Structure 1
C-alpha cells in the first residue's frame, strides 16, 4: 500500500502494473522508488521469516549518535562478498559474514536479481524489529562506499511497518555549510518538503534508485500497535 501525504509534484509520476502489485514512483530529478507488494508468496515468506529469525546471529550493538553512546533500537547482521571495504556506521563496525554462511539468503539474492535485471548487489544489511519501539530514524544511505547513485533493494517479512520518505530541503549556496551538520538538525531548519508513506507488507520488495539517497531521507518510525516482529533485508552494492 502506498500513499502520498502531500500534494504530488507536477514532475512526479506513479505507474502501476498488474500482477504482483508493482508500482513505480518517479520522484523527480533522477530519483525513483519501485514497490512490489507481492514479491514473494505468503507461505514462502513465512519460511524465510522463520529461518532468518532462528538462524541469523543477530546482535543489538552500541552505536554513537550525536556524541553519545546508545543501544541501537533494532537487531542487525551484515553479509558481504570478500574483498569489500569495511562497513562502519555510527561508530559501529559489524562483522561481515559470508553469503555461504546462510544459503537461503543466497536464494533471496537470486530472486531479487531476477526481479531487477541489470542490478548488482554484493552486500546485505539485515535488521530485525522486535516490536513497535524498534525503529530507524531519518537518514540516507549515502555513504561513499555505495557510490553517487546507490540502488538499495529492501525485502520485508513479518509484521507490517510504515516506511517513510521525506525530501531533503533545498539548499542555497549560503546553506551548503549545513551538509556538515547532523541530519536531524538540518530537518529542523526546513518548514516543508514532500513526504511519501509505504506500508511494507509481508513478502514485499521496495527499491530506491538513482539519486534517492542524495535527495531524500527515509525512516521506519515507532508504532505502538506494531507488536510483532519484522525482519528486513537491504541488498546493496559496495563500489570497489
Structure 2
C-alpha cells in the first residue's frame, strides 16, 4: 500500500489541565475540532511513563496474541499485526475481513479492567464494553485506511485508543464527498486539484506516544478514515488498545 504524506494538525481548538493522573501530576488534554461534528481528543501522557511500561510488559507477555488470515479485496492474506479481542457477555460476535476472533472475558485478564477504569474516569459518560488489542512488531506491521463505522457501534461512536511502547504515526483523512464521486464520473477535475488549500484541512497526523490516549468521537467514523502506515526504519514493538461500545 502506498502511504500518503499527510499534513500534521498543529493547532488544537482547546487545551485544558483537568484532574491529576494516578501519579499526581496534571494531565494535558488537547481537543481538535475536525468540523461538521467530528472531534479528536489527545492526551499525550495519559499514563505515567513507568506505569505504562509495566502495562506494556504485561500485555506483551500475557495476552494470547494471534495473527489471523483475513480476506482483503477478495484475497486471503495474513493480517499485518497481532490481535486479541475482549468483550462483555452477551455482545454480538465481532467479524471483520472474514475473520471472527474469539471473545475473551475481562475477567480472564484483570489488569485490562484497570486500564478500562482509567479510561472511563477520563471520559465521563463513556461505557466501553469491548476491546480490540493490536500488537505491531516493527515497521512492517500496520493497519490500512478504514473507519469503524459498523452498525454494531452506533451512528456516532466514541472510540478510545491507548498506546504503549514504540511511537507510531496515526493518520486521518477525510472521506471523499459524494460530489467528488460524481465529478469523477463526469470526467471533471478532482476537487483536490481545484482547491489545494482546502485539502490541507482534510489530512492530519498524530504521533501516538507511549502511554497516550487518543479519542475519536462525534461524526469522525462517518466522515473520516484513519490508518497506521508501514515505516521501514521502525524496529520496536507498539501495543494498542482500542475501546469501543457495542450497542
Quickly name the TM-score band, shorter chain normalised.
0.7 to 0.9
Q: Which blocks of at least 5 consecutive residues in structure 1 are unaligned?
A: 179-188
Q: Deviations over 1:43-88 (max 9, x none)?
A: 0000000000000000000000000000000000000000001000
Aligned to 1:127: 134
For 2:9 and 2:168, locate their aligned partners in 1 and report how far apart those are by CA, in whole Å. 23
Question: What pairs with 1:110-149 in structure 2 (closer than 5 Å)?
Answer: 110-149=117-156
Matched, 1:76 2:78: no
Q: Secondary structure of the residue that 2:178 maps to in structure 1?
A: coil
Aligned to 1:16: 15
For 1:35 and 1:69, locate their aligned partners in 2 and report how far apart those are by CA, in whole Å. 35
TM-score of the superposed pair, with normalisation by structure 2 = 0.85
Aligned to 1:223: 231
Aligned to 1:186: none
Whether the aligned pair in 2 keeps the contact of 1:59 and 1:76 (CA below 8 Å) is: yes
Report the count of equivalent residues. 222
Cα 1:29/1:13, change in 2 over 3 Å: farther
* Cα drift, residue 172 of structure 1: 3.1
Aligned to 2:167: 160
Aligned to 1:183: none
Question: What pairs with 1:42-61 in structure 2 (closer than 5 Å)?
Answer: 42-61=49-68
Whether the aligned pair in 2 keeps the contact of 1:13 and 1:27 (CA below 8 Å) is: no
Cα 1:170/1:46, change in 2 over 3 Å: same
Matched, 1:100 2:107: yes
Matched, 1:170 2:177: yes
Aligned to 1:185: none
TM-score of the superposed pair, with normalisation by structure 1 = 0.87
* Cα drift, residue 15 of structure 1: 1.4
Structure whose alpha-carbon radius of gyration is higher: 2
Aligned to 2:23: none
Whether the aligned pair in 2 keeps the contact of 1:167 and 1:195 (CA below 8 Å) is: yes
